[in-house]
Amino acid sequence: MPAMQLHWDIFCRVVDNYGDIGVCWRLARHLSGVHGRRVRLWVDDLGSMRQLCPALDPQAAAQHLDGIEVRQWTTPFVVDRVADVVIEAFACELPASYLQAMADLPKAPAWINLEYLTAEAWAESCHGVASPHASLPLIKYFFFPGFSPATGGLLREPGLPLTTEPATGEISLFCYDNAPIGPWLEALASAPEPLRCLVSPGKPLTAVRACLPGDGPWQLGTARIEPVPFLAQADYDALLRRCAINIVRGEDSFVRAQFAGRPFVWHIYPQDDDAHLDKLTAFIDRYTVGLESAAATAVRNIFLAWNRPMPPTTLPAAWQDFLAHLPAIDRHARKWQQDCMRLPELSASLVKFCADAV
């Protein structure tokens, strides 16, 4: 392999417990395992990362896992070397000392600000835009994941299978602690057929415990609500492919739910001034294209009911309507999965972009 752009540094601050580090860890493994790059992943919260990667030692300042060098991002930051490509994940802001070291090189590295995923149309026009640093001889490029060929696409594992197996009678729950869990549990309790809801630890389980006594499992009518242990990424991906419905949050599990080819509900990360609702609506508009009208309305209503303050009767009604149209939504989820498979693959897009940009 040519030495050009062999070394990559990814900087990640853990903001949303697992979403940011989930994307960065998955990207690091793609760059290493698929593209043969030597990757250092700088993380400020190794404790959160350990949930995704149980073999990680949260006390070790430097360690190697799955071919990735994982480093503790500390302050002050000591620069030992600068990589050929530097990924600033989700505008986390590089250490000043590292920026200066980049500027001191005879040839500056490729510097990428990996943005959050959005279906909003403006992301296409901003993808790949160059931003010169205000005082240093450096250029940062904004790189947007997305749902069209005009973006960087989505992270996708090689050989990802299309969904063909029948789903189990299970629902996975991975949400934030502001989710409308009470009304939703009431809706589950009245389900006509037995079902099993698998609740992830952390914020999802906290939200459920706020509504139900004890530590579970719980039986609500025909519904069994069960806490499950935190799963490594590959195991969680398999769980999403197995369940009939997945409730997901943030970005990494949101993308994995789409590649699972199952019906899902997205609990989006809340932002100030309800800016997240524009992002949510943009995705709903894109996702429901081609879905029959009544089923598209059911998808829109359950997404909005899960993410906006509503009267307590709204979510149960939206959930029942969602279930009533589940066969059509399930067919659409499989078609959407195939559409996502045809999008650019994010790590490959990054490798090509960086090679072309500098």
Q: Classify domain 170-341 by CATH architecture.
A: 3-Layer(aba) Sandwich (3.40)
Active site residue 20: yes
pLDDT of residue 15: 77
Tokens of 230: 């935190």
SS (H, E, C) the chain: CCCCCCEEEEEECCCCCCHHHHHHHHHHHHHHHCCCCEEEEEECCHHHHHHHCCCCCCCCCEEEECCEEEEECCCCCCCCCCCCEEEEECCCCCCHHHHHHHHHCCCCCEEEEECCCCCCCHHHHHCCCEEECCCCCCEEEEECCCCCCCCCCECCCCCCCCCCCCCCCEEEECCCCCCCHHHHHHHHHCCCCCEEEEECCCHHHHHHHCCCCCCCCEEECCEEEEECCCCCHHHHHHHHHHCCEEEEECCHHHHHHHHHCCCEEEECCCCHHHHHHHHHHHHHHHHCCCCCHHHHHHHHHHHHHHHCCCCCCHHHHHHHHHHHCHHHHHHHHHHHHHHHHCCCEHHHHHHHHHHHHC
Active site residue 272: no
Whether 253 contacts 325, CB under 8 Å? no
Q: Which of 9, 88, 115, 251 is catalytic?
A: 251
User: How sure is the predictor about 17, in pLDDT bands with cuts at 50, 70 and 90?
Assistant: low
pLDDT of residue 3: 47
pLDDT in tens, 19-50: 799 999 999 999 999 999 999 999 999 998 99
pLDDT of residue 2: 42
pLDDT of residue 16: 65
Q: Which of 9, 20, 237, 345 is catalytic?
A: 20
Break the chain into its structural domains and give their ranges. 7-155+344-357, 170-341
Where is average pLDDT lowest: 1-5, 97-101, 110-114, 211-215? 1-5
**pTM attached to this predicted model:** 0.95
pLDDT in tens, 294-352: 999 999 999 999 999 899 899 999 999 999 999 999 999 999 999 999 999 999 999 99
Q: How far is CA 28 from CA 265, 276, 326, in A?
A: 27, 27, 36
pLDDT in tens, 71-84: 999 999 999 999 99
Query: Mean pLDDT across the chain, nearest whole number?
Result: 94
User: Which of 90-104, 190-204, 262-276 is modeled with the greatest confidence?
Assistant: 90-104
User: How sure is the predictor about 274, in pLDDT bands with cuts at 50, 70 and 90?
Assistant: confident
